[in-house]
Amino acid sequence: MLVRYAAAILTFAGTLALVLGLLYWAGTAVHLMTMHMALGFLTVGALWVIGIAQAVSKVGSWLIAAGAVIVGAVTIVFGLLHTALMAGEFHWVIQVVHVALGTLTIGLGHMAAARYRKASAGE
């Protein structure tokens, strides 16, 4: 049940973080950066809950759990540092990588949650 809640939080927070990030990038939601960051932390937290569930489950995968922890950590570090990376004309490359990491975080979380639910149903 915890994985279902974490997957729902992952969807909600991740989608809102992506939308706010894109609005910030477009210059229309500059004042909502703190909310974008909080939603990003919440998204990574949900990913980590799903990853931990994969690690402690009998039918879980340590590889998926490790991937969730690593992707979550990279997403947080990159999110906090990306404004200082490659400042200037080509900063858009860093922004595209940041969007890709956010999308990877959501996708990996949903893949891990679906695998967990499918394996748990077969127990």
What is the pLDDT at residue 29?
Answer: 83
Give 90-114 as a DSSP string: THHHHHHHHHHHHHHHHHHHHHHHH
pLDDT in tens, 86-121: 788 888 898 899 999 999 999 999 999 999 988 887
Q: What is the mean pLDDT of residues 14-41?
A: 93
Identify the residue whose tokens are 């679906």. Answer: 114
39: helix, coil or strand?
helix
- pTM of the predicted structure, to 2 decimals: 0.91
